[in-house]
Amino acid sequence: MTPFELTEWPCPASGGGTRDELALTFDRRRDRRLVVLPAWFDEANKLRRQTVEVMRQLDGSGIDSVLPDFPGTNESRAKLEDQTLDGWRAAAAAAAGHFRATHVLTIRAGSLLAPQGLPGWRYAPIGGRQVMRAMLRARTIAAKEAGAAERTEDLQAAARREGIDLAGWRLGAEMFAALESAEPDTALSEIEQASLGGPGLWLRAEPGDDAAQAGALAAAVAGGIGAA
């Protein structure tokens, strides 16, 4: 079993130039190379182990894969608050180019960043509005629990002006507003959760993993790349 490696890659910086970010890679310089655009925020934590397991199984099928950190996420030292949807899209395209990806696999909201023209798959995609809805709801529930009622509409209006703290993630105003209307990429082939033989792990209250589901997802990708 090939261990994964952590590699730095030059990510476009908002003020011009680049800034190094990390990527988790299974890279043996093979011809078939997949860039993986992970789930976001709370779902990123719940799905990271599962995402790496899918990559490990793809490695066993002869496919290289790379999971880049985006600015403000995971090990990045950039502030999440400063990031924008367009900035993350540029980062996804740059990562695909730097690692010479031949295909892309997006997971959940990762589909919002799919680079144009790169073939591949979108696993259980969701739009920006759905991402925000769950996080806004978590915030209103926590506020109510603490005895301070907050209304979703008020939070949305304030977030469009000055950004917002949602479940521990500080989003800038530009990112929040862009996500309210961002829709998943439709050019990619969809892999539905129902086809993997179990419930989505993002639903779980605690992070988990499921080898059978990871195998089914890896098989769908490997079969598709083989046929492509």
H helices within the chain, ranges in order? Answer: 41-60, 85-98, 128-145, 152-162, 173-179, 211-227
- Closest approach, Cβ 6 to another protein, in A, equals 27
- Closest approach, Cβ 220 to another protein, in A, equals 21
Among 86, 100, 119, 141, binds another protein (CB under 8 A): 141
d(CA 195, CA 43): 20
200 in contact with another protein (CB under 8 A): yes
Among 6, 142, 157, 228, binds another protein (CB under 8 A): 142
Maximum CA extent, the chain: 57
Q: Which is nearer to another protein, 61 or 140 (CB)?
A: 140
228 in contact with another protein (CB under 8 A): no
d(CA 124, CA 108): 5
Q: Which is nearer to another protein, 142 or 187 (CB)?
A: 142
Q: Which residue has the tokens 């086809």?
A: 195
- Closest approach, Cβ 4 to another protein, in A, equals 25
Q: 12: closest CA among 128, 96, 136?
A: 96
Decide: 33 and 65 in contact? Cβ < 8 Å. yes
The CB density around residue 182, as the number of other CB atoms within 10 Å, is 19
144 in contact with another protein (CB under 8 A): yes
Decide: 199 and 35 in contact? Cβ < 8 Å. no
212 in contact with another protein (CB under 8 A): no
Give the strand pairing for 5-12 and 18-26.
antiparallel
- Closest approach, Cβ 133 to another protein, in A, equals 7
Decide: 221 and 34 in contact? Cβ < 8 Å. yes
Q: 198: closest CA among 1, 50, 16, 8?
A: 50
30 in contact with another protein (CB under 8 A): no
138 in contact with another protein (CB under 8 A): yes
By CB under 8 A, which span of 8-16, 56-64, 117-125, 143-151 interacts with another protein?
A: 143-151
By CB under 8 A, which span of 1-9, 58-66, 84-92, 127-135 interacts with another protein?
A: 127-135
Positions touching another protein (CB under 8 A) are 42, 130, 133-135, 137-142, 144-145, 151-152, 167, 199-200, 202-206, 208
